[in-house]
Structure 1
Amino acid sequence: MLKIYHNPRCRKSREGLEILKSSGKDFEIVEYLKEPLSEEKLKEIIEKLKIAPIELVRKNEKVWKEEYKEKDLSDDELVRILVNNPRLIERPIVVTDKEAVIGRPPERIEKLI
């Protein structure tokens, strides 16, 4: 089943959600700011995305610039930071059983479904 990690306040995330709705496929919405991800779940998503954890970071966010930007962080430290600061996670993320995409631009989601 498809799953979208969604932030309703984000325009790109809302656009991604509309793509899923218009696809006619069943999907689950996870508002990850309300339902925080575990480290294990986030690592699973990163693996499906086939990216390094740093590629999932929203680097223009104030908390990143002020607290983490200049630090040399390991992948495990980055995952912990993302779990503890979910606003830093790029969005939306759409996941299937085998793969995932970051919906930026939202059209990437269409290739997954």
Structure 2
Amino acid sequence: MSLCIYHNPRCSKSRETLALLESRQLQPNIIRYLETPPDITTLRTLVSQLGLSSVRDMMRRKDALYSELKLDNPQLGEEDLLQVLVDNPQLLERPIVVKDGQARIGRPPEHVLAIL
């Protein structure tokens, strides 16, 4: 079984999701995405695994940086948004748990149970 979590230890939902996994005796590969940001190929894969129609759906839209960068501009294409996430990984919604080719955003943490 392949299991990983894109984790930010400073985020309460990320910590809660990791604790939920560990309470089920699951030891995911922990990817601290702020230290090791995902590349564009990985982000494309995550969009697909999450079943999202747009990169925006895995971005933190309420983050001040999202507004500062004017990311709600409909002229920005998916490739533009992917590059923004590579350059600004703090905009990635968190946590994301991936298991065997499926992914879920842990907001709330219980959402990840659907793929376990």
Report the TM-score when normalising by structure 2.
0.92
Q: Are residue 95 (structure 1) and residue 98 (structure 2) matched?
A: yes
Aligned pairs for 1:31-110 (under 5 A) are 31-51=32-52, 52-71=54-73, 72-110=75-113
Root mean square deviation, CA, Å: 1.1
Q: Structure 1: give runs of 5+ residues left out of the alignment.
A: none
Counting matched residue pairs gives 113
Distance 2:27 2:59 in 1: 28
Matched residues, percent identical? Answer: 39
SS of the counterpart of 1:59?
coil
Q: Which shifted more, 86-95 or 70-79?
A: 70-79
Give, in angstroms, the shift of residue 96 of structure 1. Answer: 1.4
Q: Structure 2: give runs of 5+ residues left out of the alignment.
A: none
- The runs of at least 4 consecutive aligned structure 1 residues that moved more than 4 Å come to none
Paired AA for residue 77 in structure 1: D
Is the 1:7–1:91 Cα contact (8 Å) retained in structure 2? Answer: yes
Is the 1:7–1:14 Cα contact (8 Å) retained in structure 2? Answer: yes
Report the TM-score when normalising by structure 1.
0.94
Give, in angstroms, the shift of residue 70 of structure 1. Answer: 4.4
